[in-house]
Amino acid sequence: MARNEQAPLVDGEPIDYSGLPENYREIMRLYFEGHCDPGTGWRAILSNDLNALLICDAETAVSLPKILIWLHNHAPSHAYGSVERVVDWMRRQGL
């Protein structure tokens, strides 16, 4: 992120996507900022469902450790971690 750029706020807190592999930043931005459904594979990742390894493409599966570390360090904890949290987060769309 450029020095003068301010991280977008999610629930009033800044969220920095720079630690994510670049090709996943937009889908995570849409999920966290817009409460959009990220799709089956990403719902599995966000829900801590190990089936994500079977659903996701090979590139995403290889990137999974980086994605999980980024989630732990930067994502709002109430927006991932279980199916219920992910569904609740997506229901907040438009609020």
The one-digit pLDDT tens for each residue of the chain (95 residues) are 444 456 667 777 789 999 999 999 999 999 999 999 999 999 999 999 999 999 999 999 999 999 999 999 999 999 999 999 999 999 986 54
Sequence-distant (≥ 6) Cβ neighbours of residue 92 within 8 angstroms: 35
pLDDT of amino acid 3 = 41
CB atoms within 10 A of CB 42: 22
Nearest to 24 by CA among 54, 53, 49, 59: 59
The pTM of this model reads 0.84
Sequence-distant (≥ 6) Cβ neighbours of residue 35 within 8 angstroms: 89, 90, 91, 92, 93, 94, 95
pLDDT of amino acid 13 = 78
pLDDT of amino acid 12 = 76
**Whole-angstrom distance, CA of residue 66 vs CA of residue 52:** 14
